[in-house]
Structure 1
Amino acid sequence: MSSANVDMGIIFLIQTSTGILGNSTLLCFYSFLLFSGHTVRPTDLILGQLVLANSMVLFTRGVPQTVACFGWKPFLDDVGCKLAFYLHRVGRGVSLSTTCLLSVFQALKLCTNYFQSFGIQIQSPRCISFCCVLLWVLHLFINIIVPLNMTQLVDSKNVSVMRKNFGYCSAPVLDKLTAGLHAVLFSLFDVMTLGIMCWASGSMVLALHRHRQRVQHIHSHSLSSRPSHEARATRTILILVSSFILFNSIASIFTFCFSFVNPGHRVVQTSLLASLCFPTLSSFLLISTDSRISQFCFSCWQRQQYIC
């Protein structure tokens, strides 16, 4: 085991464990809101799904890659490889679609003058729940071909040049026609979703700009409190969308190239490192911008102190 692999293993370990910690905190918080009878915001349902999808990404790619970097292999058989890559693709797709849904929801909420009738309907918890379930079904179906060719990596030093080495699993290098069809299939949906997110983000920026112009002469704090809350929520979503587009665009470029060539092991690690940045950082962004989460964590800590 080379020192370079150990260094990458430490990086993946820090990134993955930090991301799992942040997302676990959010999962506990949103589960507490859902099952305790507290008032749930419409965006809480969407954010809860985003956190769950990000957790899947970290567990199915971050954890195996960390283990592989430290040389603990073989640890996944053929079934494990197929399941890990399938769940990773589903989690990544749901994360992408949920981020898009979140940005569209906030854009419709702000642009009530243009989408009032539709905006009222989409704020319904039933409508949001239906959209969330639909996204899971969609990506479970779209990615069903992903695990077909994934196999266990027995010895990384003896992997054929006709197979891609992912560090703990391998897949065949497809011919150009099949690789092109796969690349189009997986990239087309990503490009469409990213385009919708860019449109929604532009709409939110425009709506905030117009709102700021309208309230410049309003000096009453009571009248400006609600718009201020919506502005903070919109800025948080814009940061989420921007970070997702940045990190996943880099990973998508690598993934598109992987469809045609057999990449080096370090290139695969760099691509995965970029794709795991959003699931890790987004959880702490949500924790830092939602005061309810800090209050929840503080109350849990106080209760623990009282029990002890």
Structure 2
Amino acid sequence: MASSELSIGVIFLSLTMIGLLGNFLLLHHYLFVYLSRYRLKSTDWVLMHLIVASILTILCKGVPHTMAAFGLKDFLDDIGCKLFFSFHRLGRGLCIGCTSFLSVFQAIIISPRDSWYSELKIKTHKYSCYVLYMNWAIYFLISSMNLVHMRAIYGNESTANLKSFLYCYAVRHDQTSDIFYAALLTAPDILLLGLMLWASGYMVLTLYRHKQRMQHMPKNNFSSRSSPESKATKTILLLVSTFVSFYTISSLCQLFVTIIYNPSCSLVRVTAMASLFFPTVCPFVLMSRDSRVSSFFLCLKMSKHFHKECNQ
């Protein structure tokens, strides 16, 4: 195995393992809160779905590319190729949907009491369930398109009419069809991305106005209740900016892979790496900004240490 192949395999393996570890730790936290009969906020429900989507993305993109980089090329059959690419598309779509809805719900939560959005505050928890299930249904239908286009290759079969993705292949079409297919897949993404940017702009404006009002008030009149909401809003804004940065890189690479008649192995690998950046970084951004998560793992560590001392 060439040193370059080994390096690529190590990179994919590192992204996969770090991403899965971070997402499963965060998922463990939210499941513990849910099973302990604590009421989850609407944003917590969205975060749980975002974590599941991130795990799905990493498993369906990181694992097969790691195996391919270490020398396993044709380890999937037709069904495996169709399922892996379909579920990756599903996870990727859910990531953008959940991030968009997360920003919208937080914008509603911090909206002033005299605004029109304040009437939706008491209904956000109910609406979050319907919106998340609709998000799953829409992207499940979109991802099912890969069931038609993706396939495996066997033995010395010709790949003249197939586009290589290293371990699976896509049925090659003319460039016009590829552009139409790419536009069809990205239309919901563009809509959700616009919604995300609008909600983020609204949150930034709301925080700015709140800060301006606080500067003209005595310090003893500051509302302590605004601090957690402000911190949660800044966390979501950081998450959104992280997503937009990585999503832009991933989308550009994905666009090139789609419209290029015969994409190179390097481009396919860079596209796969770009799609893993956000799911890998996302849980650590949330854990570093959420004091509840830090307190949970600290208590868990202390309880294990106490239990160990008791058994000695």
Q: In 1, are the aligned partners of 2:42 and 2:105 still within 8 Å (CA)?
A: no
User: In the superposition, relative to structure 1, how do residues 159 and 64 fare at CA in structure 2: closer, same or farther (>3 Å)?
Assistant: farther
Give the letter for the 1:233 counterpart: A
CA distance in 2, matches of 1:190, 1:307: 48
CA distance in 2, matches of 1:282, 1:222: 36
- Worse-superposed segment, 23-32 or 211-220: 211-220
Give the letter for the 2:120 counterpart: G
CA distance in 1, matches of 2:294, 2:41: 17
Q: 2:233 matched to which residue of 1?
A: 234
CA distance in 2, matches of 1:98, 1:118: 22
Q: In 2, are the aligned partners of 1:243 and 1:278 still within 8 Å (CA)?
A: yes
- Once the two structures are TM-superposed, the CA of residue 168 in structure 1 deviates from its matched residue by 1.2
CA distance in 2, matches of 1:243, 1:158: 42
The runs of at least 4 consecutive aligned structure 1 residues that moved more than 6 Å come to: none
Q: 1:292 matched to which residue of 2?
A: 292
Q: 2:253 matched to which residue of 1?
A: 254
User: In the superposition, relative to structure 1, how do residues 158 and 269 fare at CA in structure 2: closer, same or farther (>3 Å)?
Assistant: farther
User: In the superposition, relative to structure 1, how do residues 228 and 134 fare at CA in structure 2: closer, same or farther (>3 Å)?
Assistant: same
CA distance in 1, matches of 2:157, 2:307: 56
Q: 1:179 matched to which residue of 2?
A: 178
CA distance in 1, matches of 2:92, 2:142: 12
Give the letter for the 1:238 counterpart: L
Q: 1:143 matched to which residue of 2?
A: 143
CA distance in 1, matches of 2:153, 2:224: 57
CA distance in 2, matches of 1:275, 1:166: 14
Matches within 5 A, 1:149-228: 149-154=149-154, 160-220=159-219, 223-228=222-227
Q: 1:86 matched to which residue of 2?
A: 86
- SS of aligned partner of 2:266: helix
**1:41-100 deviation per Cα after TM superposition (whole angstroms, max 9, x unaligned):** 221101111111001000110111111101134322111111111011011101100000
User: In the superposition, relative to structure 1, how do residues 159 and 206 fare at CA in structure 2: closer, same or farther (>3 Å)?
Assistant: farther
Q: Which runs of 5+ in 2 are unaligned?
A: none
- Once the two structures are TM-superposed, the CA of residue 146 in structure 1 deviates from its matched residue by 1.5
TM-score by length of 1: 0.93
CA distance in 2, matches of 1:212, 1:188: 36
User: In the superposition, relative to structure 1, how do residues 245 and 307 fare at CA in structure 2: closer, same or farther (>3 Å)?
Assistant: same
**1:251-282 deviation per Cα after TM superposition (whole angstroms, max 9, x unaligned):** 11122222221211111111111121110111
Q: 1:244 matched to which residue of 2?
A: 243
CA distance in 1, matches of 2:189, 2:73: 33
Q: 2:117 matched to which residue of 1?
A: 116
Q: In 2, are the aligned partners of 1:173 and 1:259 still within 8 Å (CA)?
A: no
Q: In 1, are the aligned partners of 2:109 and 2:118 still within 8 Å (CA)?
A: no
Q: In 1, are the aligned partners of 2:74 and 2:168 still within 8 Å (CA)?
A: no
CA distance in 1, matches of 2:79, 2:119: 44
Determine what percentage of the aligned residue pairs are the same residue: 37
Q: Say how many residue pairs are matched.
A: 306
- Once the two structures are TM-superposed, the CA of residue 33 in structure 1 deviates from its matched residue by 1.1
- Once the two structures are TM-superposed, the CA of residue 220 in structure 1 deviates from its matched residue by 4.0
- SS of aligned partner of 2:283: helix
User: In the superposition, relative to structure 1, how do residues 86 and 228 fare at CA in structure 2: closer, same or farther (>3 Å)?
Assistant: same
TM-score by length of 2: 0.92
CA distance in 2, matches of 1:56, 1:296: 25
CA distance in 2, matches of 1:44, 1:222: 30
CA distance in 2, matches of 1:177, 1:37: 53
Q: 2:103 matched to which residue of 1?
A: 103
Q: 1:39 matched to which residue of 2?
A: 39
CA distance in 1, matches of 2:163, 2:2: 20
Q: Superposition RMSD on alpha carbons, in Å?
A: 1.9
